[in-house]
Structure formats: structure tokens, C-alpha cells
Amino acid sequence: MDLFFTFFVEQWILFVALAATVLMLFQHEARKAGPSVSVQAAITAVNAHDGVFLDVRDGADFKSAHIADAIHIPLASLGNRLSELERYRDRPIIVVCKLGQSAGSASKQLREKGFTGAQKMVGGMLEWTSLKLPVVKG
């Protein structure tokens, strides 16, 4: 432990640089992904404000299990199919993917096109199913 403390004192500039780099990485990732909501907050937003779940997974994943009444638009097709979401422009659009990673870029894309209520659901369908919430198969 004494060696670590000595190293820290002698190389403090490296520790400051590392901390700054990690902080910038977290800030960049947070900005890139856009706003996010928990599963419980997503359900509340959809129910209370007449929102919708938007599933951006591929067709096979969507058919295996999806949230009831979710709109399915694969991420690759999102830019060409924004008209299908027009009636939800000012309502919550909760973007769902498998783990929550792709939903961040989709929600950012939607927000840039004026869909102010677009948010990604943290954890995606993996979180939804781990909470044993209902899904539709087929």
C-alpha cells in the first residue's frame, strides 16, 4: 500500500489525466444516447400520456417476444419510416432494443427529427423479461 501511495504522489498528473478522460467518456456516452428511462418509468409514461413503445430490434427478435402494442420499426429502417410515428410527435416514444444500446442512437435520431418525447428504455427487452413483465410472442 505504501508503494501505491508513493506512486500516486509522484505521478499525480497521470491520475488527474485518467480521471479527466474517464469523466469525458461518461459525458460523451450520456450525450450520445440521449435521455433514458427505467422500465417502470417507461410504463408510466406510455400509460399516463398516451405514448407508445417503439421496438427497433430485427424481425426475428421482435417475433420471438415483444411488448404488447409496440410498434416495430427496425433500426436500419427508422429514417425511412418516421411517418408511421407522426401522431406520436409530441407524446412519449419509448425506444426498446435488446439490451438498451441501439435504442440510444434511435432515440437521438428521433429527437433530432422533432420527436421531443423520444427516450430509450434502460436495459431493453432483457430488463423487461427479467422483471417478468408480459410479452407477446409471434
Looking at domain 35-130, which CATH architecture does it have? 3-Layer(aba) Sandwich (3.40)
| Interval 90-96 mean pLDDT | 96
Beta pairing partners, 54:
71, 95
pLDDT > 90? residue 28: no
pLDDT > 90? residue 138: no
Q: What is the pLDDT of residue 29?
A: 64
In three state form, how does the secondary structure of the chain look? CHHHHHHHHHCHHHHHHHHHHHHHHHHHHHHHHCCEECHHHHHHHHHHCCCEEEECCCHHHHHHCECCCCEECCHHHHHHCHHHHHHHCCCCEEEECCCCCHHHHHHHHHHHCCCCCEEEECCHHHHHHHCCCCCECC
| Interval 90-107 mean pLDDT | 92
The larger pLDDT score, comparing residue 3 to residue 88, is at 88
Give the predicted TM-score (pTM) of the model.
Answer: 0.77
Question: Of the given ranges (1-5, 6-10, 60-64), which has the lowest mean pLDDT?
Answer: 1-5
pLDDT > 70? residue 33: no
Beta pairing partners, 55:
72, 96
Q: How far apart (Å, rounded) are the C-alpha atoms in residues 61 and 137? A: 10
Domain residue ranges in the chain: 2-31, 35-130
Q: Are 85 and 115 spatial neighbours (Cβ–Cβ below 8 Å)?
A: yes
Cell of 39: 422500465
pLDDT in tens, 112-125: 999 999 999 999 99
Q: What is the pLDDT of residue 9?
A: 85
pLDDT in tens, 50-81: 999 999 999 999 999 999 999 999 999 999 99
82's CB contacts (< 8 A; 6+ apart) are 110, 113, 115
Q: What is the pLDDT of residue 136?
A: 96
